[in-house]
Amino acid sequence: MFFSIAGRIESGESLVKNNSDIYRVVVKIGTNVLTQGGDMVIYEKMQDIVRQILTLHREGYEVLLVTSGAITEGRSLLARSKNNQFSMESGGIASKQVLAAVGQVPLMRGWEQAFTELNILSAQALITRRDVSDRLSYLHARNTLLKLLELNIVPIINENDVVAVDEIAEVNIGDNDHLSALIANLVDADLLVILSDVSGLYESDPKVNEDAVLIEKVESVDDYVMSIAGSAGDRGRGGMATKVSAAKIATESGTHVLITNGNVEDCVLYSVSDEKRGTFFPAQSSKVESRRRYLLSNVVIKGSLTVDDGAEEALRKGSSILPVGVVSSNGYFQRGDVVDIHSILGTRIAVGITNYSVDELGKIKGIQSSEILSKLGYEYGEEIIHRNNMTMI
């Protein structure tokens, strides 16, 4: 499939019909769509996706891409090479990790070239699901991805397969779907678009039954919906089970989800417009509520810091906490721990993930952010707690 990238955009065609409440979008593209069912990634498909991302950028959207394809690229590269030491038949986890390590390079080369052709900067982020559940890695990944978006750079994310043993085990293949839901949560995305090789969730298997009815909207992912999507190992419906369970995770963390056909022209652009095609899963909670739940779930609050009146007022208006507003700190906490924020009168007003440890805070409280570097000899940013990593009580 080939679309002229420059042609369509130069003609000034605007395909985004509606700006609604959708602003930050995660697009997940799987191997089947990228290869069009073949055994290697099709570069024109990458160009097509990038062309759509350029249009979205021009319309003011932020986009993150979650891509698969490394294992397939690795397999095809090794098959074409003269290296016959590697047995394609072995199929175990370790050999998939080898394939992913080999294939991630050409996969990224393809994306990078497609983005460069359209003058968009892109960046690679290899993230495992375990990273998202570890609070410090979570903080680093979140801060990095949000900074990339701020700089107008498109993060291209794949699972770090070399270390992610569970993730590429046979039963879980296709779990970049899950990763994309976690990424959507990590960056507070408004919409997760999962590109599939079928048009969405059907009442029965569309590959078997040509009269299968597409479900256009799923209000909530319950047992009935899960049973329609099939078992986790069911590849017959385009791996629909993992997609629907990813939709459940993402919608519960405040992100709308659309499962749509990645082979349809302008599929990404339609997804943000009010002419969505596919199966739409509306968000089940607000993002603020979801962040509050994440911050407050299963954590031991390691300490607290007290802020002055000025900082409290700024905080209530949505600002970050800077060292200048911090009066004192209590407890024993490290960078990445969750701490309470108290007003000068001792009221608990917020909770957040701190960028600095209690020892570091002892040295930098009350100073200007510009002085952190000279005080500590290093810095982790100008905020003690970034507003993105904080929730009001």
* Residue nearer to ligand GLU on the CB measure, 166 or 203: 166
Contact 28, 195 (CB under 8 A): yes
Nearer to ligand GLU, 159 or 266 (CB): 159
Residues belonging to the chain: 393
Question: Minimum CB separation from ligand GLU for residue 248, in Å?
Answer: 17
- Check if the beta carbon of residue 44 is closer than 8 Å to that of residue 2: yes
For residue 302, what are the CA distances in angstroms to 121, 329, 334?
A: 39, 11, 8
Pick the closer one to ligand GLU by CB: 100 or 350. 100
CA distance 197 to 195: 7
Q: Decide whether 41 or 361 has the Cβ nearer to ligand GLU.
A: 41
Q: CB of residue 153 vs ligand GLU: minimum separation in angstroms?
A: 21
Pairing mode of beta strands 390-392, 348-353? antiparallel
Instruction: Decide if 70 contacts 103 (C-beta within 8 A).
Output: yes
The residue written with tokens 């065609």 in the block is 13
Task: Classify each residue of 56-69 as buried b or exposed e, where b means 16 or more C-beta atoms within 10 Å of its C-beta.
Answer: beeeebbbbbbbbb
Q: Please say whether the beta carbons of 290 and 185 come within 8 A.
A: yes
8 A C-beta contact, residue 144 and residue 91: no
CB of 387 to ligand GLU, least distance (A): 32
119 phi-psi bin (left φ>0, alpha ψ -120 to 50, beta other): left
CB of 28 to ligand GLU, least distance (A): 9
Positions touching ligand GLU (CB under 6 A) are 30-31, 68-71, 100, 158-159, 161, 173-176
Residue type, 381: G
CB of 104 or CB of 329, closer to ligand GLU: 104
Specify the residue, 69 or 262, whose C-beta has the smaller distance to ligand GLU.
Answer: 69
Count the neighbouring beta carbons within 10 Å of the beta carbon of residue 303.
Answer: 18
Question: Is the CB of 174 or the CB of 206 nearer to ligand GLU?
Answer: 174
Q: How far is the CB of 92 from ligand GLU (least distance, A)?
A: 15
Print the SS3 string covering 153-204: CEEEEEECCCCCHHHHCHHHCCCHHHHHHHHHHHCCCCEEEEEECCCCCECC
- Whichever of 163 and 213 has its CB closer to ligand GLU, that residue is 163
Cα 4 to the center of its chain, rounded Å: 28
Question: Which lies closer to ligand GLU via its Cβ, residue 114 or residue 385?
Answer: 114
Q: How far apart are CA 106 and CA 79, in angstroms?
A: 14
Find the shortest distance in angstroms from Cβ 346 to ligand GLU: 49
